[in-house]
Structure 1
Amino acid sequence: MVALVLVALLARLYHLGDKPYWLDEVTTVRRASLGVHALVVDSLSFHHLPLYFLISRGFTALGTNEASLRLPAALFGALSCALLYGASRMIGGRRAAVAASMLLALNPFQVQYGQEARSYTLVICFIVLALWSLASTLRNPAAAARPWRAPGSARIGWLLYGVATIGALDTLSVAVYWLLAGLLAIALIAAKHPKQRRGLLINAGLVHVVILACYLPWVVAMHQLTHGDMASGLDWVPPLTWYRFWTTIQGVYLLRTTSLIRFYTFPDGLPWLGWLASLAAGLGLLRNVGRDGAVLVAAVALAMLPAGLLVTSLVSPVWMPRYLAWSGPVFFLFAGLGLARLPRRSSWVAIAALGALSVVNLLPYYRLETKPLWNQAAVLLRRGLPPEGLLFTDAPVDVAMMNITLGRLGEPFRADRWTADPGLALRQLQGGHPVWAVHGRVGQADHTSVATFAETVSPLGAPCWSGAVGLDIIIEAFAPSGSACTAPAVE
């Protein structure tokens, strides 16, 4: 387990600070610099639970550069491998634990979120711990049903399940689907064991009263601070389509590298490797389902999150890759169970081969442009824009992201050097001053398309130069009539 955790940590620390911040990470940078009260209020006002940001605030002593504020995510990502090892070993033995933890350690999707200054690896840690605790508790219904003070009761398991579930809910609201999975698993075990049913339901009821008492006040506070507009926090999520569904499945379960801000799968790596893991997971599910309560808990958890998000998307779109992040470890748990079903020598060979192939599959991730290169665009625009020129952007958050990089250089864009008003940009151009325009993706549901950007800048006339920075950023230069074109020096 220690070796696998070190592998996971190395994979997440490797080039940890190389890729630039993007919009959500800029929020973490800003929020982590606030006082505790202001941080909590700001988080709840934007539909976020505050726990992860409070933890990030403690890491600002190391700086606010990419490596420093992503370090908590890397540490939690490595810790999740240790927790999955424990859960898998309890359910399926050592070989299952090694295989499951290895797949989690080297999955490009999990490594990516282990290099993201956001809360997803923390919620994974809490939910894997909760799953481990609940599975261990329910595999022995007689002990799970005993009063907590009675000898041989499962009070430690219930306690850990409750604490971990509270932690998950106080980190990310998507953990509600784990709460539902836990309740469903408990109900199914209670239905199968009528002699223990009353004790199981009493113990479960006590735990969940405490869980809700520690979670619902945050929901009430969020409702107050958003003035009752709770649904607006998801108005940026794009509608579910087959393409978006399949791209998400490839990243979360099939070991593919996907873009963080686009529904796009890169063609690099070993595209067929995920299918081998899927075959192992299918074998693990078929050969183990119904064996005991521990497997039932894992099976319900595996199904609940994607099914819940799909059903919820019928009312309001919520299908996002990162919202499915905590179901990835459960999928790899079943892959481990499947590989453990092979003959002992064959299974160790298969696990070793899968590990080596996973390393090969992961390596392209580090060089792929999984985030927009706003750091490069920032330096190019700040250094190249003529002193008398004006920068136009169709999204002010573009400047906020670029100023993260430029602030370190002591050269942030001042308010008089840029505008989001196309009328002001036109007057600047008509007054004989050049205008540069920038457009780029800032998230997975940008409301301004390239076509809309082109329409917005069309009054400026035809650009005298246009180019791109990476995959997601467009820059256009407009020169006054009769003036020479000053073009950005895009490499």
Structure 2
Amino acid sequence: MSFTPPSIPQRWSASHVAWASAILCLGLAVRLFRIDHQPFWLDEALTSQRIHLGFHGLIADSFTNRHMPTYFLLLQLASSLFGSGDAWLRIPSAMFGALSVGMVFIIARRIGGLGAGAVAGLLMALSPSQVQYGQEARSYTLVTLLITVALWGLLRLAQDPLRAAADLRGGGADRWGWAAYLLGTIAALDVLGAAAPWLIVSNLSLWLIWRSLRGSVDARDAFRRQWLASMVAIAVCTVPFYAAIVVTSDGHMLQKFDWIPPLSWQNLWVVTASVYLMRMSAVVKFDLLHTAVPLLGALVALAGGVGLLRMRGRLDGRVVLLSVVVLPLLILAISLFKSMLLPRYILWSAAPFFILAGLGAAALPRRTLPLAITLLFLLGVVNLGPVYRMETKPRWDMAAATLAANVRPGDTVFTADPNAPTMLTVLQPKNGLPIEASALVTSQLDQALARWHEGGRVWAVNGRSALGQREELTEFKSRIGALGAPAEQIPQGKEITILMFPASEESAAN
């Protein structure tokens, strides 16, 4: 393989800075808009609980549940400064997501010019999935940001292999490239395990860079030494934390993912469309929601294909391609044996895909490109509308408010979902009496039946808090048939129904 030098990156002019600032601000605005409109779902509720455990408790709980504590420590600090309301816990994700938009613009502009940067940045800013995760109190947008930083550094190395091979102690070395790659990689791995496939991407890319130096034995040896040193630094800074996760989770990692639905063509389409093709998915089920602009996904796919063709033969193009395909292909291969296919597990690969799409769109005639960018902005904004209108997360906030207002001493709240008690605790009204102060909240049916026989009312709640098999309402009613017919049936959004059963006739007679 011969190295084809890319075009020299354009200098930053005032217009380029203005474009970058405008797209970054757009990305932040669409993520902050109605950021507290959707209630917490289970993962966010667990985030809220974890940051209130204290420093040592937070770390222990994170490792036990196979999570790095880094992001939660950051949220704990933020909540101590600004408060722990739903919006405040989500704002860091919105900021990280907006910064990712800026990094995508910077990378695409560097390798394809201003037009490529503008299109790629707009796609990242207006992607429904990126906005959804930018409004969620979890670490996925932070990992995406850190990997884009590492990708920027890696692309710098690929664009000038001789500088990449120069001694870092000398004047001609690309210190910025190596530093961005190394620090971005370490930080991403220390935030979330979903960043681990980046190691495959980056090491394959570094191998390609090393291979392009075949004309100089000295440069190859120097590059190999720096490559090895980076691997050692990454291992030293990350392996101890992953070892702690393995030890505290008994080493049974894949067995912990039984809640993920099995691999199917339908699920594969949902993941692909939501991550790459500007579609929106429900959080607790594999389902694509209504899209306002169906054509947009096809246009993005076409632009991505053109971008791939434009980058063929270029070393930095191969790095971008690896960044797109390695993660989903790895997850897909694992899913043939143990299903791991979820939109959030391949989320960061959308960033390099949008970069390819930006490069493809930049192939349009120069006169038509401004019109195309304007059209993309308008279509993207319209396509994003359903994110703010549709129910994408179960309304446990409504259920908690209804129960808090109506339960009385001696009542029992029985939930079909074993995680529902956590949801009701976290989402119950802040200024009211806790549900647990008046009623017993349980997911054990025998416990609910025993209290019903003793003369207490039962509030049976059907609905799920996270991804997994949902018990249909008719099946739920059949399972709790011993309680008789409900006196009330109260829908709470699309996913949750509350059934109220009065005290048993036998207890009333006594």
Q: Would you say the 8 A contact 1:17–1:65 is kept in 2?
A: no
Q: Would you say the 8 A contact 1:136–1:157 is kept in 2?
A: yes
Quote the offset at 1:388 in angstroms: 4.4
Q: Say whether residues 1:442 and 2:465 are aligned partners.
A: yes
Quote the offset at 1:321 in angstroms: 0.6
For structure 1, the 5+ residue unaligned runs are: 484-491
Residue type of the partner of 2:395?
L
Residue type of the partner of 1:106?
L
Q: Would you say the 8 A contact 1:289–1:299 is kept in 2?
A: no
Q: Would you say the 8 A contact 1:260–1:371 is kept in 2?
A: yes
2-structure distance, mates of 1:440, 1:23: 12
Q: Say whether residues 1:459 and 2:504 are aligned partners.
A: no
1:342 to 351, 357, 364: 364
1-structure distance, mates of 2:167, 2:337: 41
Q: Would you say the 8 A contact 2:486–2:502 is kept in 1?
A: yes
Q: Which residue of 1 aligns with 2:346?
A: 324
2:207 to 179, 187, 200: 187
Quote the offset at 1:141 in angstroms: 1.2
Quote the offset at 1:413 in angstroms: 1.8
Q: Which residue of 2 aligns with 1:489?
A: none
Q: Say whether residues 1:268 and 2:287 are aligned partners.
A: no
Quote the offset at 1:177 in angstroms: 0.9
> Any residues of structure 2 matched to 1:183-262 within 5 Å, and which?
183-194=203-214, 195=216, 196-262=219-285
Residue type of the partner of 1:223?
V
**TM superposition score normalised by structure 2:** 0.90
1:24 to 17, 29, 43: 43
Quote the offset at 1:459 in angstroms: 2.5
2:411 to 381, 386, 389: 389
Q: Which residue of 2 aligns with 1:488?
A: none
3-state DSSP of counterpart to 1:344: coil
Q: Which residue of 2 aligns with 1:72?
A: 92
1-structure distance, mates of 2:475, 2:176: 57
Quote the offset at 1:448 in angstroms: 5.5
2:185 to 160, 165, 178: 165
1-structure distance, mates of 2:442, 2:205: 54
- Measured on the aligned residues, the alpha-carbon RMSD in Å equals 1.9
1-structure distance, mates of 2:102, 2:240: 31
1-structure distance, mates of 2:474, 2:210: 57
> Any residues of structure 2 matched to 1:403-482 within 5 Å, and which?
403-406=425-428, 408-414=430-436, 416-446=439-469, 453-480=476-503
Quote the offset at 1:278 in angstroms: 1.0
2-structure distance, mates of 1:230, 1:47: 8
2-structure distance, mates of 1:286, 1:17: 41
Q: Which residue of 2 aligns with 1:59?
A: 78
Residue type of the partner of 2:55?
V
1-structure distance, mates of 2:436, 2:56: 29
User: What per-residue deviation string (whole Å, max 9, x for no partner) do you get for residues 399-458 of structure 1?
Assistant: 221222325123222174323221232233334433220021111124766566345313
1:178 to 191, 198, 219: 198
1-structure distance, mates of 2:145, 2:384: 22
Q: Say whether residues 1:309 and 2:331 are aligned partners.
A: yes
Q: Which residue of 2 aligns with 1:486?
A: none
**TM superposition score normalised by structure 1:** 0.94
Q: Which residue of 2 aligns with 1:9?
A: 28
Q: Say whether residues 1:333 and 2:355 are aligned partners.
A: yes
3-state DSSP of counterpart to 1:477: strand
For structure 2, the 5+ residue unaligned runs are: 1-19
Question: How many percent identity over aligned positions?
Answer: 38
Quote the offset at 1:262 in angstroms: 1.2
- The structure-2 alpha-carbon separation of the partners of 1:480 and 1:39, relative to structure 1 and needing over 3 Å to count, comes to closer
Q: Say whether residues 1:34 and 2:56 are aligned partners.
A: no
Q: Which residue of 1 aligns with 2:13?
A: none
Q: Would you say the 8 A contact 1:422–1:456 is kept in 2?
A: no
Q: Say whether residues 1:143 and 2:143 are aligned partners.
A: no
2-structure distance, mates of 1:268, 1:386: 43
